[in-house]
Structure 1
């Protein structure tokens, strides 16, 4: 199952050359994760209990201010208290440039008991949702986004 989320490189995402800053990948990926978690119906309970414990990114190509981006996110592994997500960030053809795979990577989140801060097993109903098949695209484009 791959979940796709579309957004755009905004001015705040770029450096002085107008190219996206490496930290933007994390924002793209976490926006996709938030949309997926809402799709699972866990939006209000998931994030306070699921910190990121590992992030790995390969930066492959630049993205530019105004360029449309699709972030593809998939659950690669469900552990007893962890999830590993794999992701690909793709830039659409833009301003005479071809479409590109801009970044690829993975990250791990762990479910914690908020009172102890220790890892704990996923609630069974959550684990069920992690394994479900979702094929959907969510729009992150605002009506005022540059085209």
Structure 2
């Protein structure tokens, strides 16, 4: 399984994708490039809106803010999960929260040590490697400013409990 979609405790939808850190995802230090995290988050975002049958979201939802907090390194060959969930739905904006977690695996360090062992001897397997938010605004084709989200969009995101 390459993805999943569920709803969080507030009823907002979320989606998770599973990837492997590829060589192209790494930088000169041997761990993930900062842009790889955003690509995985965008892949989870795309999966979320495909699962919700809201593909009309993409051409009308430019990013207005991205906040990324990096906590751990991810290495070539390591499996990662990226989860995106709707955090807040405003009149014209939408904020998604995300987290990217690393699983055990990947290429060991040059000195032969396991890169997944922390300084205190514990493992970072399953640890949050990055988290943050992405905020988009609804700007329909031809508009020059944000407009309210269409009613069908709001109903799908809020789910059956909002009806």
In the superposition, the TM-score normalised over structure 2's length comes to: 0.76
Q: Does 1:104 align with 2:131?
A: yes
Provide Cα deviations, 1:83-123, integer angstroms capped at 9, x if missing partner.
11111100011155231210010110111122023101111
Aligned length: 132
Please point out which of 10, 19, 24 is paired with 2:36: 24
Aligned counterpart in structure 1 of residue 104 of structure 2, from 85, 89, 93 = 93
Q: What's the CA shift for 1:17?
A: 3.0
TM-fit CA distance, 1:16: 2.1
| 1:69-80 matched pairs, under 5 angstroms | 69-80=80-91
Unaligned 5+ runs, structure 1: 134-147
Q: CA RMSD in A?
A: 1.4
Structure 2, unpaired ranges of 5+: 1-7, 9-13, 107-113, 117-122
Superposed CA offset, 1:2-45 (max 9, x none): 421111111111012321001111101000000001001022x1
Secondary structure of the corresponding residue to residue 46 of structure 1: helix
Distance in 2 between the 1:126 and 1:120 partners?
Answer: 13
Which residue in the other structure is 2:67 paired with? 56
Runs of 4+ in 1 over 6 A off after TM superposition: none
> Matches of 1:75 and 1:92 in 2, distance apart?
24
* 1:75 Cα offset (Å): 0.6
Name the residue aligned to 1:113: 140
Partner of 1:66: 77
Give the Cα separation in 2 of the matches to 1:71 and 1:36.
Answer: 11
CA distance in 2, matches of 1:71, 1:132: 22
2:158 is aligned to 131
- Counterpart Cα distance in 2 of 1:40 and 1:52: 20
**What corresponds to 1:138 in structure 2?**
none
Q: How big is the shift at 1:73? A: 1.1
Residue 83 (1) aligns with residue 94 (2): yes
- Whichever of the two has the greater Rg, that structure is 2
